[in-house]
Structure 1
Amino acid sequence: MFRGRSLPYHLNFISIFCILFFLSTFTYAQSTIIKGKVTDAKTGEPIAGVSISLLNTKIGSTTNENGFYSIVTSSSSIQLQFSFLGYKTVTKKATPGTIQTINVKMVSDAQMLTETEVRASKKLPYKNKDNPAVALIKKVIENKPINQPKNYESIEYEKYEKLVFSLSDLPQKVLDKKLLSPMKFLFENKDTLKIKGKTIYPMYMEEKISDNFYSKKLKKTKTVIKAKQQVDISKYVDQNGVSVYMNRMYADIDIYANNIFIVTNQFLSPIADNAQDSYKFFITDTIKTVEGDLVELSFTPRVKGNMMFEGNLYVTLDGRYAIKKVEMNLNKDVNLNWVRSLAINLTYSQDSLCHYYLSSSHVLSDFGFLKNKGIGVVGERTISFKDYVIDHPREDSYYNVDTVVIAANSTSQSENYWKENRIDSLSPTESKVYYNMDTLQTVPRFKSMVRITNFLITGYHSFGKFEMGPASTFFSFNELEGSRFKFGGRTLPAFNRTWYFEGYGAYGLKDEKWKYSTSVAYSLNHKSIYKFLNNYLKVGIESTAIIPGQALELSQSDGFLLSFKRGEDNKWLYTSAYKFNYVREFNNHFSYDFGFRRTEQSPALDLHYLVINDGVQTEVENLTTTDLSLRLRWAPHEQMIEGKSYRTQIPNKFPILSAKFTVGIKDFFGGDYNYQSLSGSITKRFYLSQVGYTDIALESRWVFGQVPFPLLNLVPANQTYIYSQRSFNLMNFMEFVTDHSVNVYLDHTFNGYLLNKVPLLKKLKLREFISAKMAFGALRSENDPSLHPELYQFPVNPNGIPYTYALNNTPYVELGAGIGNIFKLFRVDFIKRLTYLDNPDVASFGIRAAYIFDF
């Protein structure tokens, strides 16, 4: 769709020698290359699927959808036979040892048509067997180890990156609105040439120049960023987070890899191992260049709608079968949100020692809510490379320091520096982006629009140095508090880069009690505590009300939508705590969190802490614990979106491991019990190419010592109607307790792999999910209140039936299947509970919903 630059023509004496050497070594030195087009003699229309055979040999081919064919042979006597059902067979002679074009016009055979009653398409079934295009792609795949740059011993190069985002398809009636009149200068800077039929208005740009190093032996990379500049929007959004997410959407493309990441999804490469089983290939042209002959190899998915590409590969005929150029697009039926089109162009060059390397990469995408019309966003990432040094490895010690080094003056380079060092120049519209966006941020109306938009998206309203929110928690309701009103806020780095304050106040109309939380953090490195490389001390105090066993991974557990719950909502705790934490992060994404916490909890509503001593039942009004903890976490290659006052992880293929050790100390600040607990978790996403990806999480916790059930493991439950990945959606709060447990969470996303093959449903672009969750665990006899009545008894309802049970040898299991991408935003899961169905007030089946924004 979007054509790339012409092939580079860098050639010297040694490269000519290499090419001549390969040509003399292989049979291509005397090859005959024949190409052409087959058409209907009467209508002139191309005929697809014509069988072309080289007489007296096993060589053959077929025409593609546009009637083109190509054959390569070293035979000394060449006669081509063209045959197709319903047409008279044609035989043509070719001249050996040359490149030639033979176009064929086939005449219809009316008698044959009548006899065979051919009324359908003229296409023949596509076959891999005896298909020269398939034979060629197999050669390309076979030679990947010698052509893939990552297989060289070492690589060094300079890299220039440019990322531009533009608005597109703005109707004139929108541009004429008075609301936009103060920003008119933005829309005078337009580009009508980049995409045919579209007018685009550049709004955001970032550039980077870096030196890059790779060692195959160490399997390590190193990047030295020499210069970087970008449109400054840090006053309104997370500048670094936007950059990280955008660059993840436009990750570097390695055509030699089996799978390629595009806008957070995985696509099958056209030269992946066994690509011939997933793609159809056609030889469509041969091209002569000063660097040697190329074969144009077209490809298209066998199954439309799969996460695959379509386009052209240009393959060298120098015996290495290297990729010289790639032009490909997403196939139009792919199940990808917001993306109208996406084109990729890659160009490879060759050095004096015949090493092939990527010399330029260009990705152009068009995003929009509606598929083919309406306002959209055009994203473009251009990468250029120069000064390659291959197979001259550096000392191992060079890679022992930071993998990313940022020069001290990288963000303060002069305009002259950029003009002299850009490998590609800026277009006239791009050259105005920095100035226009700086000017825009002085427009009061723009500032107001950004504040309103930010509030609607994040729920926080900024007052410059302080922000209030989140709005979703301003009002909620529950059985204990009735209507609950809550207001909170926190300071921003603009207030102070060393001290950070946060707090809220809440009041329940039913229980007529105030709840509150306040904390202060001191940054030891004088950087934001919401940015990577944390190093801070934090103290806090709180008094609130919670549901035991509610462990949702949602950012706020007291939001309005979470007020709607199924079943009983009558077991609560009032808690008061003061706490201290010291948090430290390191460059390798290892971190630790040392904590101290004193908590006092009192049961409320139908929850009671009852003990039996000498046959007499007594109610305990409160439970006090004092504990010290150490939490360790390692998240290699972790990427985050870091806002002014939040951090959100971007999922990738690398695992996240954490462990926490806690010691409860009796009589220390009033603690009632001695105990120890050890917990750990592992989470990882497994990408499965065309079949989607699987998120797996394992959690385990062991409690040592004799303690009452509130200090044991309450298996995380969810009684809301919002789907939760890291809790059990059909389990009741406080339903199960253990002192040693393992929880397993599996959630697989098919990305439309199945539904895309259903004729009517595929138009809806729906996506399929399956899930499985299991809780394994048990309760040692020393913590069983039925054997030790001096421990808190498990809660019972008014009829004396227990609410809480110990897991036994049977795990708790629930399975789910869901449909997602409803209106591109919503997911609905149908969940079945398989075990412990005899427990009171349980649901064996449920429907849950969730909001998901994804491509």
Structure 2
Amino acid sequence: MFTYKPYLYLAILCALLSMAYTSVAQTTVVSGKVIDAVSREALSTVSIKFINSNKGTVTDSNGRYFLSTTDKVTLIQFSYLSYQTVTKRITPGAQQVLNVQLVTNNQTLPEAEIRATRRVKYKNKDNPAVALIKKVIDNKSINQPKNYSSLEYEKYEKLVFSLSDLPQKTLDKKLLASYKFLWENKDTTKIPGKTLYPIYMEEMVSDHYYNKELNKSKTIIKAKQQVDISNYVDQNGVSIYLNRVYADIDIYANNIFIVTNQFLSPIADNAQDYYKFFITDTVVNDTSKLVEISFTPRVKGDLLFEGKLYITLDGKFAVKRLDMGLDKNVNLNWIRSLHVIQTFDQDSLGHYYLNSSDALTDLGFLRNKGVGVVGERSMSFKNYVINHPKEASFYSDDTVNTNTEELKQNEAYWKQNRAIALSHSESNVYKNMDTLQSIPKFKRTANFVNFLVTGYHGFGGFEMGPSSTFFSFNELEGSRFKFGGRTLPKFYNPWYFEGYAAYGTKDEKWKYKLATTYSLNHKTIYKFPNNYLKVSYERTTMIPGQELELAQSDGFLLSFKRGEDNKWLYTENYKFNYLREFKDHFSYDWGFNRFTQSPALDLRYISTINGADTTISSLTTSELSLRLRWAPHEQMIQGKSYRTQIPNKFPIITAKYTMGIKGLFGGAYNYQAVEAGISKRTYLSQLGYTDIAIEGRIVLGQVPFPLLNLIPANQSYIYSRSSFNLMNFMEFVSDHSVNVFIDHSFGGFILNKVPLIKKLKWREFVAMKMAFGGLRSENDPAVHSNLYQFPANDNGTPTTYALEKPYMEVSLGIGNIFKLFRVDAIRRLTYLNNPGVAQNGIRIAYILDF
């Protein structure tokens, strides 16, 4: 029989504590800050290393550093170009804070007289560091991994996000007492002077394959686990976005993506034009001799790195180690600091491959204080197989499995395959977040935040929304009140229902919509890829030809308009669609649409019949359509009411064919319409990026102007990328047209060089929008009186015109104002004599970006 023995438990506890202390004591941890002894300014990229050890690091943009090792070390060395090297004694096996002041070679401590000396101008010519970097650049093709005929390897990656800088007085409040277990799980060693509270983590093990001859890559994910937040957000979309933010860093590429921005690599082909290079040390690493090269931007604030490269002297001039961060003046939002460390090992053919990579970013609304979020992506690579290509059929399917359920593995698997051990605080994240989501108070808070972000609030298997359309106003309806909702998968899967009811106080009419969707793959219709049938009926109001890219056309913000808003439609719409999306992001959409439009307010449909003007009360069309879309390598964040594409360099291509059938369910006209479009972002390194969109449409057959191409106009005060911001509604029509939208962001490239202004971290935008097209005589009401007359004002002056010469407008914008807003000054260049038009205008947009 078991007997309780307190002394036995005390002995066991003491033994465990002793073992834990012994384990910790074997690790030497040193952190602190390095500053100039006279100016007291923080020094970044100071080289720090343990004597008699291969462990080293550099200080970040705030002069802080963190270094640890399990080697037996007693000395640590600080070295920096033009400064005297300092060596300090440390206590082995202990955690300690060591702040250091460095003295320049030309300066002593304050008791000596300090004289200013002329700064030597930096030059590339005769600079041995630049000569060495050129050799590195010349040998990139040899040292790049994709130089092999084939390559395969296994990768383990870990992504962790932690809250930081939480005030202790806040944590002690009774309101947060239920979350005490989160604050007890903390890490004080990762970043000097910061306490981190991990809240999100995901891990993945995957195999990667590359074939140079086929130019094909393939990824097979073998295991994945992550904190489950699927009840509140798109789990897979968040994962994709976070990994996009912390994308793979290829030092051999000319440009590197960090937190959605493109940075020039310090070994890019033209790096010497943007960076300064200095040889700062020669070190011995694993018996090989390396040259330490420090680099820093020529212009502070540009999207460039600063740090150190360790270059081999074995004739290959390869990067053995990379240790870099960002200058504190770089034009990025939310980022307090970034630190990237990569190590490379030599393969059997003598080339160097990436062995490990660690990127740590400190994010916060305020630059150097306040609550923040620290993100870290760590990767380890092993099991490299070189020049043993697989058969071509192996690469035919490059689909990456993202089904979390299929990738779940037990803890035994992770212990065996986890290449980077979890810290104590990280090991508790999965359990703590599961516990957090079971707390009623947290559920209520999360649901409220979700309502603010998405506009929907759930009630079991039903949710109400979107909130942005609950109230709006316009000239036709006056105050418009709208309430609606839809069912969720747990209501009646695979059937989905949605609808709304709206009422206008001025026209005193009800509008409503009813829709039902059947999911053919029995999966939710709110996530990619879709495969469903949908039937809907809707009676509502709209402005002719307007399809703004904002989420809801009847949103509150769109109620504020310039100029006259006196041309509206009452519509009745029966629709049937079959949508099929494939994993390679190709999709097709078969549809039938019976659409009845009745003009309202000052809009009239007038036709000449038997020599007399006749007002047409309504126009009915019946259409069959096929829409195709292809977005290779597309990544997105998708909610229940939106899909937001994560920008990349690949195009999005669309095409649509529509056929109107006279006599089918009351359709009044036979016609055909063909349209196509392509949009793409092009990155220009230090010059920013350009978004280009081209769309064209041609209508075949004789039809009245409501069925022609109504050039998209924007009369709201919100800047629209895909509409013409100084064009009036229904100002131009055509039966063949091409719209071109060009929007370029310099990312602060110019303003970063302007004194004082550069501190605001504003960003420059330029844009040009053009519409080309025309109207064939068969669709011109001046030639054919049976067609509807173009709208005119009370004086008989036309307000709608056939597009003849190109319409053009240009804009110059300043973005990143308060890190949130973009303001554009727009100028209209053509058709300046049309009545009621503005030649100049100011538009504002809300943009949340890094």
Q: Within the alignment, does 1:844 sit opposite 2:849 as a pair?
A: no
Shift of 1:106: 7.7
Which residue number corresponds to residue 421 of structure 1? 417
Kindly provide the CA deviation profile for residues 809-838 of structure 1, in whole angstroms up to 9, marking residues without a partner as x.
x20000000111111101111000010011
Amino acid at match of 2:426: E
Cα deviation per residue 1:265-305 (whole Å; 9 max; x = unaligned)? 00000000021111000000001233411000000001111
Partner of 2:550: 554
- What is the aligned partner in structure 2 of residue 700 from structure 1? 696
For 1:75, the equivalent position in structure 2 comes to none
C-alpha deviation, 1:119, in angstroms: 7.3
* 1:825 matched residue in structure 2: 820
- When residues 491 and 804 of structure 1 are mapped into structure 2, their CA distance, relative to the original with a 3 A threshold, is same
Aligned match of 1:160 in 156, 161, 165?
Answer: 156
> Separation in 2 of the partners of 1:788 and 1:471?
46
Question: Percent identity at matched positions?
Answer: 69
Once the two structures are superposed, the pairs formed by residues 516-595 of structure 1 within 5 Å of their partners are: 516-595=512-591
Question: How many residues are aligned here?
Answer: 761
Check whether the contact 2:471–2:481 (CA below 8 A) recurs between aligned residues.
Answer: yes
C-alpha contact (below 8 Å) 2:454/2:641 kept by paired residues: no
Q: Please show how residues 102-181 of structure 1 align to structure 2 within 5 Å.
A: 121-181=117-177
1:189 aligned to which of 185, 189, 192: 185
**Counterpart in 1 of 2:452?**
456
For residue 220 of structure 1, report the CA deviation from its aligned partner.
1.2
C-alpha spacing 1:405/1:441, structure 2 compared with 1 (3 Å): closer
The verdict on how the C-alpha distance between 1:5 and 1:233 changes in structure 2, with shifts beyond 3 A counting, is farther
- Residues 569-612 of structure 1 deviation map (CA, whole Å, 9 limit, x = unaligned): 11000000100000111122111000000011100010010011
Q: Which residues in structure 2 correspond to 1:210-229 (within 5 Å)?
A: 210-229=206-225
How far 1:403 sits from its partner (Å)?
3.4
Deviation at 1:391, TM superposition (A): 1.2
Amino acid at match of 2:414: W
Instruction: Give 1:408 shift.
Output: 9.1
Structure 1 pair 5/578, CA: closer, same or farther in 2 (3 Å)? farther
Give the drift of 1:467: 1.6
**Which of the numbers 604, 610, 622 marks the counterpart of 2:606?**
610
* Change beyond 3 A, Cα 1:654–1:9: farther
Question: How far 1:120 moved relative to its partner?
Answer: 5.0
Matches within 5 A, 1:469-548: 469-548=465-544
CA distance in 2 between counterparts of 1:428 and 1:395 reads 44
Decide which of 255, 262, 266 is 1:259's aligned counterpart.
255
1:55-84 Cα deviation digits (max 9, x unpaired): xxxxxxxx944378xxxxxxxxxxxxxxxx
Go from structure 1 to structure 2 and tell me whether the alpha carbon gap of 1:656 and 1:406 turns closer, same or farther (over 3 Å shift). closer
2:407 is paired with a residue of what secondary structure? coil
Could you list the per-position Cα deviations for residues 297-346 of structure 1 after superposition, in whole angstroms to 9, with x for gaps in the alignment? 00000111100000000000000000000000011111101111010001
Q: Find the aligned partners of 2:399 and 2:438 in 1 and give their Cα distance.
A: 38
Equivalent in the alignment of 1:72: none
Q: State which of 326, 330, 337 in structure 2 corresponds to 1:334.
A: 330
Change (3 A) 1:745 1:255: same
TM-score (norm. length: structure 1): 0.87
Farther-moved stretch of structure 1 (351-360 vs 195-204): 351-360
Change (3 A) 1:417 1:106: closer
Give the secondary-structure state (helix, strand or coil) at the position aligned to 2:664: coil
Secondary structure of the residue that 2:489 maps to in structure 1?
A: coil
Tell me how far 1:353 sits from its aligned partner: 2.0
Alignment CA distance shift 1:408-1:284 (3 Å): closer
Deviation for aligned residue 1:7: 14
- Retained in 2: the 8 A contact 1:748–1:769? yes
> Quick check: 1:759 aligned with 2:776?
no
Contact 2:590 2:627 in 1 (8 A): yes
Q: Gaps spanning 5+ residues in structure 2: where?
A: 1-43, 55-79, 86-102
Q: In structure 2, which of residues 765, 768, 780 is the aligned counterpart of residue 784 of structure 1?
A: 780
Residue 6 of structure 1 deviates from its aligned partner by 9.7
CA contact (8 A) 2:826 2:841 kept: yes
Find the aligned partners of 2:205 and 2:285 in 1 and give their Cα distance.
Answer: 31
Q: Secondary structure at the match of 2:284?
A: strand
Query: C-alpha displacement at 1:407, in angstroms?
Result: 8.7
1:234 deviates by: 0.8
* Cα 1:814–1:7 shift into 2, 3 Å: farther
Give the match's secondary structure for 1:791. coil
State the partner residue of 1:368. Answer: 364
Which residue number corresponds to residue 71 of structure 1? none
Instruction: Give the Cα separation in 1 of the matches to 2:51 and 2:396.
Output: 38
Measure, in 2, the Cα distance between the counterparts of 1:104 and 1:475. Answer: 65
Give the deviation of 1:464 after TM superposition. Answer: 3.2
- Which structure 1 residue ranges, 5 or more long, are not aligned? 11-62, 69-102
Query: What amino acid maps onto 2:717 in structure 1?
Result: Y
Deviations 1:225-259 (A, max 9, x none): 11100011111111111101100000101000000
Counterpart residue identity of residue 664, structure 1: G
Inter-CA distance 655–406: structure 2 relative to 1 (3 Å threshold): closer
Deviation of 1:557 (Å): 1.1
Please state whether the residue corresponding to 2:666 is helix, strand or coil. coil
Amino acid at match of 2:171: L
**In the superposition, relative to structure 1, how do residues 284 and 381 fare at CA in structure 2: closer, same or farther (>3 Å)?**
same
Using the alignment, how far apart are the partners of 1:311 and 1:347 within structure 2? 14
Alpha carbons of structure 1 residues 263 and 8: separation in structure 2 relative to 1, 3 Å: farther
Instruction: Give the distance between the partners of 1:520 and 1:543, measured in 2 at CA.
Output: 16
In structure 2, what residue type is equivalent to 1:762? K
Measured in 1, the distance between the counterparts of 2:51 and 2:459 equals: 54
4+ residue runs over 4 A deviation: 1-10, 103-108, 118-121, 405-410
Paired amino acid for 2:249: I
Q: Deviations over 1:698-721 (max 9, x none)?
A: 010000000000000000000000
- CA distance in 1 between partners of 2:404 and 2:306 (Å): 43
Q: How many angstroms apart in 1 are the aligned matches of 2:661 and 2:53?
A: 75
Aligned counterpart, 2:18? none
- Shift in CA distance, 615/364, structure 1 to aligned 2, threshold 3 Å: same
Distance 1:105 1:173 in 2: 45
Is contact 2:156-2:380 (8 Å) kept?
Answer: yes
RMSD: 2.2
After superposition, residues 270-419 of structure 1 pair within 5 angstroms as 270-405=266-401, 410-419=406-415
Partner secondary structure for residue 490 of structure 2: coil
1:750 aligned partner, one-letter code: F
- Measured in 1, the distance between the counterparts of 2:444 and 2:465 equals 18
- Offset at residue 176 of structure 1 (A): 1.4
Structure 1 residues 361-412: Cα deviation after superposition (integer angstroms, max 9, x where no partner)? 0000000000000000000000001111111111111101233246997533
Answer whether contact 1:599 1:626 (CA < 8 A) is retained: yes
Instruction: Specify the alignment match of 1:66 in structure 2.
Output: 83
**TM-score (ref. length: structure 2):** 0.87
Contact 1:224 1:406 in 2 (8 A): no
1:492 touches 1:644 (CA, 8 Å); kept in 2?
no
Q: 1:443 aligns with which of 439, 446, 449?
A: 439
Q: Measure, in 1, the Cα distance between the counterparts of 2:118 and 2:274.
A: 23
Q: Which moved more, 1:492-501 or 1:735-744?
A: 492-501
Residues 627 and 247 of structure 1, relative CA distance in 2, 3 Å threshold: same
Q: Which moved more, 1:726-735 or 1:408-417?
A: 408-417
Q: 2:659 aligns with which of 663, 671, 678?
A: 663
Displacement of 1:613 = 2.3
Other structure's SS at 1:404 match: coil
| Secondary structure in structure 2 of the residue aligned to 1:180 | helix
Mapped pair 1:717 → 2:734: no
Q: Which amino acid aligns with 2:120?
A: L
In 2, the alpha carbon distance for the partners of 1:602 and 1:544 equals 11
- In structure 2, distance between residues paired with 1:193 and 1:674: 73
Distance 1:427 1:420 in 2: 16
- The amino acid that maps onto 1:662 is T
